[in-house]
Amino acid sequence: MISRRASILAGMILTFATASVCHGRSLEVRIDSLTTLGMDTTRSFDDRVLSYKAAIKLGKSGVPMFRLASLYMQKGTRNDLSDSEYWYKGAIAHDRQNAVYRCAYAKLLWNLDDLAGANSQAKKALEINPDNLCGLYYAGKYAIWGMDRNLTAVALASSKQVVVPFSLREFGEDRMSQAIHLLSRALEIDPDFGDARQTLGLVYYESEQYDEVIDLFAEGARRDLDDPNSFFFIGLALQAQKN
């Protein structure tokens, strides 16, 4: 009798476990299906939003939140960007170790002029993956912003014959070194990352490192002979050397 009861109980547990697994898989399939519908660019914006939101209601995944945030960001109105931020935060809450989510949020924050917030997200992405291109790029851009502010402050102080503290000059040099390191690393990983090359070129040019500008864009020209930016920057640096 005891053996029979144990057998029945074991069967019930197995049935329940199997049903739970099947339900979980079914839920995942429904979420994936709705997310795929949301990614269909032949459908209207509103219909895509509805598909993503239906997937989000089923829970257990940050993917539809991320996709919805990206869709709102692409549309680009002020209200859409606000919605985009909301859903990026939701996606990150689901998966805090996702560097892709954090980098997309960094890009949004940069576009919203929250440069410190963008830098924070970029650095968190780099903590997850030190070779994340987006993280390197936005952390580098933030370092350049700090460098530019510092250069402006030093130039203004000098024009008014104010003694510039060494710490202020040192801060600017430190930010410049950060920017060069981060953007150079991005180009090591992806030599065809045009935005990183141009941004790094601007750092070199602003700091009067004209030989580095020429070398940087000579390499860019070798990789893409049809890129007018490379020849423009080379010419700019050559002219600056003559002056």
What is the per-residue pLDDT across 88-124, written as a single tens digit (0 to 9) for each? Answer: 999 999 999 999 999 999 999 999 999 999 999 999 9
What pLDDT shows up at residue 41? 96
Q: Which CATH class is domain 25-95?
A: mainly alpha
What's the rounded Cα separation, in Å, for the pair 47 and 93? 25
Residues 6+ apart with CB under 8 A from 2: none
Instruction: Quote the pTM value.
Output: 0.79
Q: How far apart are CA 154 and CA 134, in angstroms?
A: 30
Looking at 5-19, 127-141, 218-232, which range is the least confident one?
A: 5-19
Predicted confidence at residue 26, as pLDDT, reads 84
- What pLDDT is attached to residue 228? 86
- How many angstroms separate the CA atoms of 151 and 156, rounded? 8
Six-digit token pair at 158? 């000098």
pLDDT, averaged across the chain:
85
pLDDT at 3 over 90: no
Q: How far is CA 130 from CA 71, 126, 127, 189, 231, in A?
A: 27, 4, 6, 11, 31
**pLDDT-derived band at 156, boundaries 50, 70, 90:** very low
The amino acid present at 191, given as its one-letter code, is: P
Listed by start position, the domains of the chain span 25-95
